[in-house]
Chain A
Amino acid sequence: MGQAEDKRRLDGDFTELYRSHLRDVYSYAYYRIGNHHDAEDLTEQTFLQAYRHFERAQRESDGRPLRPWLIRIAHNLAANYYRDRSRRPQTHLEDAAVLSAPHDTEALVEGRQELRAVLEGVSSLPDDRREALIMRFALGMDNREIARALARSEGATKVLIHRAIRQLEQRLDAGDEEE
């Protein structure tokens, strides 16, 4: 097979990766950073960087899904984003879909407040716990995928998620008591 043929096949595979995971990368970036503007930049840079290293990643993946690899790139870029700009994630997310729903009834308002408290609680967790929850619940990744994205063992990842949920639960309880 010629080099041009290899290149075309590689580009076709990359296009498929992009189509399958654009929403995943964007969701991760959005919940990690907290605003759409920077989430778009991070998503774009993630795919540009992924393109540069795609051939090697595909070769070394042994047929395993590449989503954890892609999310790891976004994770590293997000870490650089905070290091370069000495910033922390924004506590208030701009407008996650669920928060922008119309609030016609009291129950809906209460529901929105509850979800806002959850999002704020997630934002206040340590980085690794917050990321694990984003991957599990926003991206639907299983323990194995999250472990690969965070470069941890599956056991350590399971413990990390369990502790993150416990910590969030305690924060939500403490918030309820204050009200």
Chain B
Amino acid sequence: MSPNQEVEAMLRSALVPVEPSEALGDRLVRGLSELTDAAAGELADWEISAMRDPRNWVRPAAAAVIGGTAAGALVLARARQAHKRRSSGGLRALERSLRDLSGGVRRRIVG
């Protein structure tokens, strides 16, 4: 075996894939499914045909804002619960990303 191949063999032994904790998997699944369910539910309620009439735009748009905010708040509440033992720095970063995401969901629903 050449020195190069030896190093490659050592790298294969050292850099083994790392399994995430079950808690992380649960946390991600919960957060993502809540977001997607909320967004899909809102869209299902608003038939596209109804949206062709501008007179119908106000109520769904308002509902979208409320629904999006509620979804974001729900996810954030769950995330807070999951992160209660973690550092405040990590939590703030997560809150920021969730706020961004909540805004993105709102934009998708309204737009």
> 21 A-B pairs, CB-CB below 8 angstroms?
A2-B48, A4-B40, A7-B40, A7-B43, A14-B32, A23-B19, A23-B20, A26-B20, A31-B15, A31-B18, A40-B24, A44-B28, A44-B97, A48-B101, A49-B97, A51-B32, A97-B19, A118-B7, A137-B11, A165-B4, A168-B7
Residues of A within 8 A of B17 (CB): 23-24, 27, 138-139
Closest-by-CB residue of B relative to A40 is B24
> Once the chains bind, are A40 and B20 in contact (CB under 8 Å)?
yes
Asked if B36 lies at the interface with its beta carbon under 8 angstroms from chain A, I say yes
B90 touches A41 (CB 8 A): yes
Q: Give the contacting residue for B4; candidates A14, A96, A169; CB below 8 A.
A: A169
Interface size class of B (residues with CB under 8 A): 35 or more
Hey, which chain B residues are within 8 Å of A172, CB to CB?
7, 10
Known A24-B17, A40-B20; 9 more pairs at CB < 8 Å: A23-B17, A23-B20, A27-B17, A43-B24, A45-B94, A115-B13, A138-B16, A168-B7, A168-B11
Q: Which residues of A contact B86 (CB under 8 A)?
A: 37
Does A128 sit at the interface, judged by CB under 8 A? no
Distance between Cα atoms of A172 and B14 in the complex (Å): 14
List CB contacts (< 8 Å) of A161-179 with chain B: 165-166, 168-169, 172
Query: Which parts of A19-33 form the interface with B (CB within 8 Å)?
Result: 22-24, 26-27, 30-31
A142 interface contact, C-beta 8 A: no
Taking Cβ atoms with an 8 Å cutoff, the residues of B that contact A are 3-4, 7-8, 10-21, 24-25, 27-29, 31-32, 35-36, 39-40, 43-44, 48, 86-87, 90, 93-94, 97-98, 100-101, 104
